[in-house]
Structure 1
Amino acid sequence: MATENTTLMQSARKSLENNWGIAIITFLIYTIIISVGSYAAIVIAGPFALGLALFSLNISRGKELKIEQIFQGFNRFVDGLIAYLLILLNVFLWALLFIIPGIIKAFSYAMTYFIMIDEPELSPQQAMKKSQEMMDGYKMKYFRLTLRFMGWSLLCILTLGIGFLWLVPYMYVTNAKFYEDLKTDPLQEIGIEVNN
């Protein structure tokens, strides 16, 4: 069975214990850069997503952290951009049917950038396909995890947004934990779909 969401969240907090400072600064730098402009954000969002996946996995795995890791996705600029645009397009097209199918499709692709970090030989399309396969039977579990963070987001708004400095790294590292848990789930290896 996959690890409970509460356990993944606790594990993420433990990984962040001695890394809050660099995590907050790194995600703040990302937020400032991505806020430059809408057109620029579309072009750089994919490479940044790769960099954030790398940084988050490094926190999760207890590896060395450097702020410049969030820029390493630009070494694979085209792959990052293609993945971002394909995910955006697919989610948009499914959302045209109704909002719910779009959300479900977004959850299907949630592991794409982590996969691209761990398996750089895969194309963006292959990583997206693998993410869909990994998330089979786990989208409801991921949805429940997302709901937990939505509650925290409402509390952060009450702090005039200051709380997001802690919440955003917490969310990313928890997602990294979710990904690593999926990777090690024995049911994934034999292709059994789990209803969580």
Structure 2
Amino acid sequence: MTENFRPTVLRNQAYEALRGKWTPAVVTSLVFCILLGVAVSLSRVNALLYLIAYLGGASIVAIGMLYACWDLFTKGTLPEAGALFAPFKQYARTVGAVLLVFVYTLLWTLLLVIPGIIKAYSYSMTFYILRENPEMTAGDAITASQKMMDGHKMDLFLLSLSFIGWAILASITFGIGYLWLIPYIYTAYAAFYETLKKETSVTPATSVSAE
């Protein structure tokens, strides 16, 4: 692990990006949690209905949250609840990527849980790449993500692991703390992606052309 990928470094970058922007970030996070909660509540009605609602709706909103925090980190843009729905503008392409990532991860998980987790980290940059390269197909973005994450899956795992303490504290507050934790995590992931682009010699374009 290089210094730039250390969880403390990435978290500090995320915190600095959020400085002075916590209020709109928390409001956006609240809307995100409400929409996600609606999808989860459907699981009590019907498991298939929940799966459809999650893959076709809630997961798209989650990508919108991802993009809102990415824009905050790279452009200093204030998060807005409306940004959660931005991925719906390219709905078919986004849903296609969601379904592919879901199916690939599920198939690996059916073999063994650990390979499924590893693959989930391999695919984790897919939606950043998809947005940054509008000409790419979902399959190309997944391929590019795997190549970019080669040798960096542990870096992202350690970053995710570093938030466990914060997650415990958020749980103690009956979940209210997650309104702050979610944008903090997503902004740290944005910092990870931007660092990954700088540190790796593999770019989305070269990843696809190398196939």
Normalized against structure 1, the TM-score is what? Answer: 0.90
Q: Alpha-carbon deviation of 1:186?
A: 4.7
Which deviations, in whole Å up to 9, do the C-alpha atoms of 1:74-103 show, x marking residues without a partner?
Answer: 001111111111111111111111111010
| Alignment RMSD | 1.7
Secondary structure in 1 aligned to 2:163?
helix
Q: 86-95 or 149-158: which moved more?
A: 149-158
Q: 125-134 or 51-60: which moved more?
A: 51-60
Q: Does 1:7 align with 2:9?
A: yes
Give the conservation status (yes or no) of the 8 Å contact 1:50–1:116: no
C-alpha separation between the residues in 2 aligned to 1:48 and 1:26?
11
Q: How does 1:47-126 map to 2 (within 5 A)?
A: 47-65=60-78, 66-126=80-140
Q: Does 1:24 align with 2:26?
A: yes
Q: Which runs of 5+ in 1 are unaligned?
A: 192-196
Give the conservation status (yes or no) of the 8 Å contact 1:55–1:69: yes
Q: Does 1:129 align with 2:111?
A: no
Q: How does 1:136-155 map to 2 (within 5 A)?
A: 136-155=150-169
C-alpha separation between the residues in 1 aligned to 2:189 and 2:156?
9
- Matched residues, number: 190
Give the conservation status (yes or no) of the 8 Å contact 1:110–1:131: yes
Q: Alpha-carbon deviation of 1:125?
A: 0.9
Q: 169-178 or 141-150: which moved more?
A: 141-150
Name the amino acid aligned to 1:101.
Answer: P
Equivalent residue number for residue 180 of structure 2? 166
Q: Alpha-carbon deviation of 1:168?
A: 0.7
Q: Which runs of 5+ in 2 are unaligned?
A: 43-49, 207-211
Secondary structure in 2 aligned to 1:35?
helix
C-alpha separation between the residues in 2 aligned to 1:124 and 1:49?
17
Q: Alpha-carbon deviation of 1:64?
A: 2.7
Give the conservation status (yes or no) of the 8 Å contact 1:94–1:102: yes
Normalized against structure 2, the TM-score is what? Answer: 0.84
Q: 34-43 or 16-25: which moved more?
A: 34-43
